Homo-oligomer: A and B are copies of this chain.
Amino acid sequence: MKKLYPNKDAGTLKSDSPIHRFTDSPGSIFFNKVTILGVGLIGASFALALKKRGLCRHIAGYGRKENNLKKALGMNIIDSFDIDASKACADSDLILFAIPVGCFTETAKKINGSLKKGAIVTDVGSVKGKLVRDMEALMPEDVSFVGGHPIAGSDRMGIDTAAADLFIGARCILTPTEKTDKTALKKIAGLWESFGSKVSTLDAEEHDRIYAAVSHLPHLIAYAIVNTVDEINNSYLGYAGNGFKDTTRIAASSPELWRDISLMNRDNILEFIALFKKNLDSLSGYLKTANSEALEKEFKKAKALREDVR
């Protein structure tokens, strides 16, 4: 993992390791107008976090569902809204993409004519890689793009579950490229740090490999487990205990979001599905030959690894 200002003593970053702070005074960050594109769980929580810390004067919302925007306005999550993305972004100092990743470039094309000089555009998408380069290419010359991914998703959705403190203690990955403006990067990092997040940076392609493994693969598997039990016998689902519930919790995640994420990161995901099937085939082989020792060894290995994940 790369850091902007590497701490030579830090070694490999563990979830509980102290993270270098990008800014010494994150409180000095202030945006006059912020636009949230997509006022769902993450977008609304971002807005609430900004407001709680007094980091902006006005938050404009944009989304496809006017009812949701009206509700967000009523809940004081946003201060105004527009169902025209371009209008919602006018005069904004910070624009957050919190819509499904499949809509990013199309929306960037709609707004890039109305972006204020010096504005920063950032996002919370679960896929980076090519998407970051595409977004950079769509920005006007005087607008900076900073790719971001707070690890705070949930099977819960929508503004009713949004919370100003959602990001406290959560990892937030930023994916700067050689084109990224250093000042903009520092501002966005400082913003997430002021929200309580543990900020670090990753190469955008490396980010996509990591999250294909620890997030996108498990999501596809969870969806497949539920549909498999349904195929075996739908009534069996009524017997599920906590193990099943935990394992498949993320199968209740947004189909639309995960459709986009899966497709945009499909090369990595397909590679890892093949590896996963190989591992599952090993276990099947041990079952077939009643290889009790090999089975226990694999389980022990997984148990030790899993217990190290905190």
Residue A295 CB within 8 A of the other chain: yes
Contact A259 B292 (CB under 8 A): yes
A230 within 8 Å of B (CB atoms): yes
Segment touching B, from A65-73, A114-122, A276-284: A276-284
| Size class of the contact patch on chain A | 35 or more
Q: Which residue of B lies closest to A12 (CB)?
A: B235
B residues in contact with A277, CB < 8 Å: 277, 280
Q: Interface-forming stretch among A45-53, A81-89, A177-185, A266-274?
A: A266-274
Contact B225 A217 (CB under 8 A): yes
Select one of B224, B232, B245, B259 contacting A309, CB under 8 A.
Answer: B245
Check if A248 is an interface residue, CB within 8 A of chain B: yes
Contact A255 B300 (CB under 8 A): yes
Residue contact B272 to A232, C-beta cutoff 8 Å: yes
The 0/1 profile, CB within 8 Å of B marked 1, for residues 235-255 of chain A is: 111111111111111111111
CB distance from A202 to the nearest CB of B (A): 9
Chain B CB within 8 A of A153 CB: yes
Beta-carbon contact of A213 and B238 below 8 Å: no
Are A232 and B275 closer than 8 Å at their CB atoms?
A: yes
Q: Is A142's CB within 8 Å of the partner chain B?
A: no
**CB distance B14 to A238 under 8 Å?**
yes
Verify B246–A298 contact, CB threshold 8 A. no
Q: Tell whether A306 is near chain B: CB-to-CB under 8 Å.
A: yes
Q: A219-B243, A299-B258 are in contact. Are A227 and B305 (CB under 8 A)?
A: yes
Closest to A300 in B: B255
- A288 contacts B by Cβ under 8 Å: yes
Q: How far is the CA of A151 from the CA of B220 in the complex (A)?
A: 26
Are A214 and B239 touching (Cβ within 8 A)?
yes
**How far, in Å, is A310 (CB) from chain B's closest CB?**
8
Which of A153, A209, A213 has the most chain B CB atoms closer than 10 A to its own CB? A213
Q: Which of chain B's residues have a CB closer than 8 A to the CB of A246? A: 246-247, 249-250
Q: Which interface residue of A15, A259, A296 has the most chain B CB atoms within 10 A?
A: A259
Asked if A214 and B230 make an inter-chain contact with CB atoms under 8 angstroms apart, the answer reads: no
> When A221-B225, A270-B284, A288-B266 are in contact, do A241 and B171 touch as well, CB less than 8 Å?
yes
Cβ contacts A to B, 11 pairs, < 8 Å: A173-B239, A214-B241, A217-B225, A217-B229, A223-B283, A231-B275, A248-B306, A255-B303, A262-B287, A263-B295, A273-B280
5 closest cross-chain pairs (CB), A and B: A255-B299, A151-B241, A226-B302, A223-B302, A218-B247
